[in-house]
Chains A and B, each alone.
Chain A
Amino acid sequence: MPQVRLRYFALFREQAGCREEEFATSAPTPGLLYEELATRHGFRLGRAQLKVAINGAFADWGTPLADGDEVVFIPPVAGG
């Protein structure tokens, strides 16, 4: 079971109630990881509205997760 480091921003930070956490996941990909976390923290955003970054770079939802990865789910942005 890979141990990943999750960082939360904006809406996810508020819903998760923390800025980051270590999490042991059985999910092989960030897509399934998000589904686990959505149940755990009550995230309401659908996957279609999100992007994911692994170790500081945008990644595909099917990228295999490795032990020690830093994973950030990115809700819809509103810069400017």
Chain B
Amino acid sequence: MPAFEFSKAQLDPAALARSLADPAAGGFASFEGWVRNHDAGQPVTGLDYEAFEELAVAEGDRIVAAAMQRHGVRAARCVHRVGALGIGELAVWVGAAAAHRAEAFAACREIIDEIKHRLPIWKKEHYQSGDSGWVNCERCAEAGPAHADEPAGDARFDYARQMALPEIGAAGQRRLTAASVVVIGAGGLGCAVLAALAGAGVGTLHVVDDDRVEASNLPRQPLYTTADLGRPKAEAAAQRLAAYNPRITVHAHAVRLSAANAAALVMAGDVIVDCSDNFAAKFLINDTAVLAGRPAVLASVHQYEGQVQVVRAESGGSCLRCLWPEATRDGLVGNCVAAGVLGPVPALLGQLQAIEALKILLDLPGQLRDELLLVDLLGVELRRLRVPRASECAGRCTRIGPAAAETPAAELEITLPLAAAAAQGYRIIDIREPDECHSEPLGLTGHMAMPMATLLAGPAALDPDARYLLVCTRGARSLATARELRAGGCRNVWSLRGGLLHAAGGTQPGRS
């Protein structure tokens, strides 16, 4: 029985598995590669395998023998098809039998990985469009030495190494150039994320942070130097990143993330990366990203450990509130100031966030989704925990489908003087931030004041038998909040059209 062979005929996995039967084997693992009906977004109708058979067989035998020896398995083999294959056909079969399952899995994995990367086997895909192409070859040709299709720019910063990856190529690099990422927080996590995304050539970066550089930041925040002490972090980071990669554009936002500016900031990105250090911001980022339908990559760090969660509510995925339905209050668990932190921990977690953001932008396989990645750097362990969409997710991501989010404004907005609305039995909720309420009072009594994020976090506090009218300065936040609450199942909320500005005849200053 050869360790590696080609077959022009269909494979019979049951017979192949039987061929490895061994009374001393307690574990058997197999891998089957099937022909799938799509690649890189294109419908595929079939493919042809071609091989340099003499060399492939010699190398394949070596790969199987090396894996058997390294993992101590009792038997292993691989059979690869050549010729024309249809959708769903078995293209490659690998099996390994060992005393225990761990060796069988490991050997099987190693064999298929090596075979895919080393053996002279080529695959030509036939597309529904009538086109065809040699997988890995066409895109590499684009990424050849002349960089014929590389986005124009400064050759001093050359993306050749990452463009050599078959999944990226010139087309992927163009996607990165066209992409925008918003990074909220430019501390330990943010420095790592920003440096990685700037290096990868993400065309537009937004740095959001209202802190200033402090001496205690420098050990783990290498975007800053001692000369930056006292400078706004957003400004210092943007300047450093622009100098690092002159081919990208970096925008500095030296503002504190708040319900008033969150929507506008989040909408500026194709992906939002949460590098904040407090729960209020994390929940606000989560909620705003869910509302805006933007993917968000969240991370947090505690001493030698960290967590990463990718929120894909726009495609039905779970979110932070599926895990923690009620916003965790800051102060219950320590932050870096109180608990301490060692630089490589946020640096590594930030790199994990960066690769997840790039995977989303490039549509690479293996994206984290509906799970929480736990990283323990003292135990040197990575664990992935399932986080399914929660049905009681604060009335949020389970019901916020695109259809629900699209409740037309006409059904949500009311045009009435506030006093008249109150007289008609509407309970008025001022959803502005406390500082806004203080500087521009509503001029009513008996209303409720509840900032947008608080209201979105706890709609259960609303009386289902009452009718609520939400009010903000211009009517944009109140409309978005009402729409969100409707999507979450609250049928009894409306928004004051035009907000206070409209109610006051358009003379009042203030935020949107």
Q: Which A residues lie at the B interface, using CB under 8 A?
A: 7, 9-11, 13-14, 44-49, 51, 53, 56-58, 72, 74-80
Closest to A13 in B: B50
Stretch of B139-147, B172-180, B310-318 contacting A (4+ beta carbons < 8 Å): B139-147
Within 8 A of A (CB), among B129-160: 134-138, 140-141, 143-145
CA distance A75 to B397 in the complex (A): 46
Q: Does B448 touch A at the CB level, under 8 Å?
A: no
Structural contact, B137 and A79, CB atoms closer than 8 A: no
By secondary structure, the B interface counts as: mixed
From B119, B137, B143, A75 is in contact (CB under 8 Å) with: B137
Report the bound CA distance from A78 to B141 in whole Å. Answer: 15
User: CA–CA, A8 to B58, complex, Å?
Assistant: 18
Interface residues as binary, B179-213 with A (CB distance below 8 Å gives 1, 0 otherwise): 00000000000000000000000000000000000
Q: Are A56 and B119 in contact (CB under 8 A)?
A: no
Chain B residues with CB under 8 Å of A48's CB are 145, 164
B33 within 8 A of A: yes
> For A14, A47, A76, which residue has the most chain B Cβ atoms within 10 angstroms?
A76
| B447 within 8 Å of A (CB atoms) | no
Using Cβ atoms and an 8 Å threshold, which residues of chain A touch B80?
Answer: 79-80
Q: Decide if A45 touches B122 in the complex (CB within 8 Å).
A: no
Residues of A within 8 A of B144 (CB): 44-46, 49
What are 16 A-B pairs with beta-carbon distances under 8 A? A9-B52, A9-B120, A10-B137, A11-B122, A11-B137, A45-B140, A47-B145, A49-B143, A49-B164, A51-B120, A75-B134, A77-B118, A78-B135, A79-B49, A79-B123, A80-B116
A10 contact set on B, CB distance < 8 A: 50, 122, 124, 134, 137
Q: Which residues of A contact B92 (CB under 8 A)?
A: 79-80
Give chain A residues whose Cβ lies under 8 Å from the Cβ of B54: 56
Inter-chain contact A46/B117, CB cutoff 8 Å: no
Instruction: Report which residue of A14, A46, A56, A80 has the largest number of chain B beta carbons within 10 angstroms of its beta carbon.
Output: A80
* B112 at interface by CB-CB < 8 Å: yes
In contact, A79 and B55 (Cβ under 8 angstroms): no
The list of the 5 closest CB pairs from A to B, nearest first, reads: A10-B122, A79-B121, A76-B136, A46-B144, A80-B116
Output the least CB separation between A60 and chain B (Å).
Answer: 15
B358 interfacial by beta-carbon distance below 8 Å: no
Chain A residues, Cβ within 8 Å of B137 = 10-11, 45, 75-76, 78
Mask: chain B, 396-426; 1 = CB below 8 Å from A; 0 = not: 0000000000000000000000000000000
Bound state CA distance, A80 and B91, in angstroms?
A: 7
Residues of chain B lying within 8 A (CB to CB) of residue A11:
122, 134, 137-138, 141
Q: Which of A44, A51, A72 contacts B141 (CB 8 A)?
A: A44
**How distant is the Cα of A13 from the Cα of B456 in the complex, in angstroms?**
62
Task: Tell me the complex Cα distance, A74–B304, Å.
Answer: 46
Q: For B112, what are the chain A residues with a Cβ–Cβ distance below 8 Å? A: 80
B residues at A contact (CB < 8 Å): 33, 49-52, 54-56, 58-59, 80, 91-92, 112, 115-124, 134-138, 140-141, 143-145, 164, 166
Between A46, A58, A78, A79, the greatest number of chain B beta carbons within 10 A of the residue's beta carbon is seen for A79
Q: Could you tell me the dominant secondary structure of chain A's interface residues?
A: mixed
* Complex Cα spacing A63 to B312, Å: 52
Give, as a whole number of angstroms, the nearest-CB distance from A79 to chain B: 4
Looking at the assembled complex, report how far the CB atom of A5 sits from the nearest CB atom of chain B, in whole angstroms: 13
Within the complex, the shortest CB–CB distance from A80 to chain B, in Å, comes to 4
Contacts of A47 in B (CB 8 A): 145
Closest-CB distance, B11 to chain A (whole angstroms): 13
**Judging by beta carbons under 8 Å apart, are B141 and A45 in contact?**
yes
Cβ contacts under 8 Å, A57 to chain B: 55, 58
Q: What CA separation (Å) do A49 and B137 show in the bound complex?
A: 9
Cα distance A65–B58 in the bound complex, in angstroms: 22
Cα A77 to Cα B50 with chains together (Å): 10
Q: Name the distance in Å between B360's Cβ and chain A's nearest Cβ.
A: 24
Question: Is the beta-carbon distance between B145 and A77 smaller than 8 angstroms?
Answer: no
| A74 and B140 form a contact (CB under 8 A) | no
Partner of A76, one of B51, B91, B140: B140
The answer to whether residues A78 and B136 also contact, given A10-B124, A56-B54 and a CB cut-off of 8 A, is: yes
Closest residue of chain B to A79 (Cβ to Cβ) is: B121
Q: How far is the CA of A21 from the CA of B52 in the complex (A)?
A: 16
Closest to B123 in A: A78
CB nearest to B113 among chain A residues: A80
Known: A14-B134, A45-B141. 11 other contacts (CB 8 A): A9-B122, A44-B141, A49-B144, A56-B54, A58-B59, A75-B136, A77-B121, A78-B121, A79-B56, A80-B80, A80-B116
- B145, A46: Cβ atoms closer than 8 Å: yes
Q: Which residues of B lie under 8 Å from residue A46 when comparing CB positions? A: 140, 144-145
Compute how far the CA of A58 lies from the CA of B58 in the bound complex, rounded to whole angstroms.
11
Q: Which residues does chain A contribute within 8 Å of B141, judged by CB atoms? A: 11, 44-45, 49
Q: Among A13, A45, A49, A53, which residue has its beta carbon within 8 angstroms of that of B120?
A: A53
Q: How far is the CA of A53 from the CA of B51 in the complex (A)?
A: 13
CA distance A58 to B118 in the complex (A): 11
Whether the Cβ atoms of B55 and A56 lie closer than 8 Å is yes
In the complex the two chains form, what is the Cα distance from A51 to B122 in whole Å? 13
Question: What residue of chain B has the Cβ atom nearest to residue A80's Cβ?
Answer: B116
Q: How far is the CA of A10 from the CA of B357 in the complex (A)?
A: 34
CB distance from A38 to the nearest CB of B (A): 10
Residues in A neighbouring B116, C-beta threshold 8 A = 77-80
Question: Which residue in chain A gives the minimum CB-CB distance to B121?
Answer: A79
Contact A77 B119 (CB under 8 A): yes
CB contacts (< 8 Å) of B117 on chain A: these are 77
